[in-house]
């Protein structure tokens, strides 16, 4: 969207939040007007930044502080859901991305409690035994299970910073697997199906991409179907215990070939607004249990199972370091493409 379109979106949001109306200067009725203890004025409350980085309301009175803070929090959330939160023309906001709730650190006591209250038999090996579908399928069969619609298109990546080296579809010749099974850094896929066509976006412009040409942006997504849960800081067997206790429809769990597991959760949202609502509701809970909040994006890559990676990038040396024991498999550990609802994979009363 361009500037004018974003401003119009913001005005639509404000019209819902302030039914009495907002004038051209941003003045409107304070959301906490009933708590005011001194005389009210038509210009006591004003919303600043409608055409800037962070729109928010401020009031001359002090007794309404809690109501104003609640209003600003709701305004920020509604702008995200309307995809009108970013202001890329303001240099200070470049690259900020989708606004999230305040970062929630991992709660080590909560993780320890999950570990202690879950049966010792629940680990990575248990996931494979529990899987309703065979975990021995290759990349093509895996994608066919998760993206069965004839019009589904999935981007496959050998370089996670690229625009995708392949556009997969259910009609793709399975022989493509041979070209992707082995790659130095591994292989990824974009979890939301896309159109597969390139488009030029103002917000995607950069020195490396002056035209903003992309096929992996939210505007390219055709269905907001899944959400990725991953953790780089929790031991895989412990993270497996966390995952099986989450009341979410987990459709797959894949090892990264390193020290993390990627779980794919069915969302089935009608659009990005609906997807963001789901993400917002669960973000605090899963982050406290060790989930990486940076992975909770509508447009997110995940490891493609059945492929090998030869090593990993080392930040200290700023170089690619091969694994000492040879290539690692990005292994499919659990598969249930029909998962829906809020049941957990492990039911405590049965153990």
- Which residues, at least 6 apart from 14, have a Cβ–Cβ distance to it below 8 Å? 22, 28, 47, 50, 75
CA distances from 136 to 34, 128, 175, 303, 337 (A): 63, 10, 17, 16, 15
Ranges under pLDDT 50 in the chain: 90-99, 349-351
Q: What is the pLDDT of residues 227-238, one digit of tens each?
A: 999 998 899 999
Neighbours of 248 (CB within 10 A): 23
> Given this model, what pLDDT does residue 105 score?
84
- pLDDT at site 112: 92
All structural domains of the chain? 3-93 (no CATH), 108-350 (3.90.920)
Dist CA 12 CA 22 (whole Å): 11
Q: Dihedral sign, CA of 56, 57, 60, 65?
A: negative
Residue 152 tokens, joined: 């589904």
Interval 174-212: pLDDT, tens: 999 998 888 888 999 999 999 999 999 888 888 888 899
Q: What is the pLDDT of residue 309?
A: 94
Whole-number pLDDT of residue 167? 97
Q: How far apart (Å, rounded) are the C-alpha atoms in residues 272 and 45?
A: 32
pLDDT at 281: 83
Token pair 């170089």: residue: 319
Q: What would the two tokens of residue 290 be? A: 């060790």
Six-digit token string for 317: 């040396």
User: At residue 65, what are phi and psi to the nearest 5 degrees?
Assistant: -55, -45
């Amino acid at each position: 969207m361009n500037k004018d379109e974003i401003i119009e979106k913001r005005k639509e949001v404000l019209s819902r939040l302030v039914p009495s109306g907002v004038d051209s200067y941003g003045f409107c009725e304070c959301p906490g007007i009933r708590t005011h203890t001194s005389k009210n004025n038509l210009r006591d409350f004003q919303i600043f930044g409608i055409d800037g980085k962070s729109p928010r309301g401020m009031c001359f009175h002090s007794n309404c502080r809690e109501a104003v803070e609640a209003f600003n929090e709701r305004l920020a959330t509604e702008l995200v859901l309307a995809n009108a939160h970013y202001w890329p023309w303001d240099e200070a906001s470049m690259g900020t991305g989708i606004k999230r709730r305040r970062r929630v650190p991992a709660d080590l006591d909560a993780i320890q409690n999950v570990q202690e209250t879950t049966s010792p038999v629940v680990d990575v090996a248990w996931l494979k035994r529990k899987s309703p579908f065979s975990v021995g399928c290759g990349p093509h069969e895996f994608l066919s299970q998760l993206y069965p619609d004839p019009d589904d298109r999935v981007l496959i990546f050998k370089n996670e910073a690229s625009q995708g080296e392949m556009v997969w579809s259910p009609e793709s010749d399975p022989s493509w697997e041979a070209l992707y099974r082995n790659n130095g850094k591994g292989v990824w896929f974009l979890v939301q199906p896309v159109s597969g066509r390139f488009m030029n976006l103002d917000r995607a412009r950069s020195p490396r991409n002056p035209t903003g040409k992309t096929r992996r942006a939210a505007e390219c997504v055709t269905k907001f179907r899944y959400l990725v849960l991953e953790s780089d800081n929790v031991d895989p067997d412990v993270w497996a215990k966390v995952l099986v206790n989450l009341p979410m429809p987990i459709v797959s769990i894949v090892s990264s070939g390193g020290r993390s597991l990627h779980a794919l959760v069915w969302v089935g949202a009608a659009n990005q607004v609906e997807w963001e609502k789901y993400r917002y509701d669960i973000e605090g809970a899963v982050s406290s249990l060790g989930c990486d909040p940076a992975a909770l994006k509508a447009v997110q890559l995940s490891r493609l199972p059945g492929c090998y990676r030869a090593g990993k990038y080392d930040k200290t040396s700023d170089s690619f370091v091969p694994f000492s024991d040879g290539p690692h498999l990005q292994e499919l550990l659990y598969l249930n493409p029909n998962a829906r609802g809020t049941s957990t994979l492990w039911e405590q009363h049965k153990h």
